[in-house]
Amino acid sequence: MNISYFLEVKLVEYLAIYKAPRERFELSLPRRGTGSQEQQKITKATVRKYLRLRSINGLSKNWKRDITNIVTRYLEYVDWTVDEYKTIRYLNKIQKSYSNCAFRKKCYQIRRFLQYQKIDWADNINPPKEYSGKPKHITKQDINNLMDSFNDYPQSAQLHALILLGSTSGLRAMELYQLRKEDIDLENRIVYVNHDPNNGQTTKTGKSRISFFNQETKVALEDFLQSPAGLKVQRVFGRTSVQPYFKDSEIKIKDLRKYFSQEWDRNSGPTTIKKLLMGHRHDVDLKHYNAQGVGDLKLIFDSTINGQLELERMGQGVVFP
């Protein structure tokens, strides 16, 4: 047997497999010494100046901290010297440790910082596309099961209130984490979603809005906020205090918003009102035509959530609590 020929064949096969397109995103490393790299020394003062400029657009303290950590860890890896080869190696390295969504965010923030530094190859950093999988189908029974799973926890009152508010108001997970006691009007069942970066509160659209919650949620919120633990909290559902409990749960905090959207449609609620409550502003009708008062919104919310509208149309006049 010709050993040299055998090894040559196997090497060709191996290289063919290795070079085949991969499902995961991967930037190709530039060759060293080709002259295509651009190196630039970065100082901590440069990072502070960059963050001050970013803050003009309205950054919450938490988001500013996250951006600082992303940029700082990257710069520590490249020894505070922007280098194309090391940058791509760093991105390929951290991709293995994060979800697609988290990796995309880190890519964007690193690219944005490099663009601020006017690095010519920064535009070539293109994060992977978002996975376009089928949305998770969530039923009322799924929400009830999630509630039951926390029944024996010392923090059950807080977790139950969180699940119910997320399920009936349509707030984003980050909006729930940022809520303060004064943002919740228990008497009128209104939750104020504030965009106030100076107060550590931001929304995806950069605009404040309101939403509502049902009677069951009101009772759960009262139970928690009037408890010894609830009286001490500054933020009703601080991220670090609630997020760990959902680590092994099939339904995450962010999924509560999905349930609200699905349940609203199952109850034949108006789509434009749902968009208003959820903070979807990329709609011509909402931008230029549709404006609703608080009373109108609450009436439509109650009619949809409680299924009261159809009963009133049938002339039964049933009033739900």
What confidence score (pLDDT) does residue 141 get?
Answer: 95
Cα-Cα-Cα-Cα dihedral sign, residues 84, 86, 87, 89: positive
Which of 1.10.443.10, 3.40.50.300, 3.40.50.720, 1.20.910.10 is the CATH number of 140-313? Answer: 1.10.443.10
User: Per-residue pLDDT tens for 55-93?
Assistant: 887 777 778 889 999 999 999 999 999 999 999 999 999
What confidence score (pLDDT) does residue 290 get?
Answer: 80
* 198/58 Cα distance (integer angstroms): 8
User: Per-residue pLDDT tens for 103-129?
Assistant: 999 999 999 999 999 999 999 999 888
What is the pTM for the complete model shown?
Answer: 0.69
User: Per-residue pLDDT tens for 10-58?
Assistant: 544 544 444 444 445 556 666 554 444 568 999 999 999 999 999 887 7
* 179/210 Cα distance (integer angstroms): 12
Angle at 139 between CA 134 and CA 145, to 5 degrees: 120
Which of 2.60.120, 1.10.3470, 1.10.150, 1.10.8 is the CATH number of 38-127? Answer: 1.10.150
Domain ranges for the chain: 38-127, 140-313
Q: Do domains 38-127 and 140-313 have the same CATH topology?
A: no
Q: What are the phi and psi torsion angles at 317 (to 5°)?
A: 65, 30
What letter would DSSP give residue 127? P
* 168/186 Cα distance (integer angstroms): 14
Using a 10 angstrom Cβ sphere, with 0-12 exposed, 13-18 middle and 19 or more buried, the burial of residue 66 is middle
pLDDT of 214 over the 60 cut: yes
Buried b (16+ CB within 10 A) or exposed e, 232-243: ebebbbeeebbe
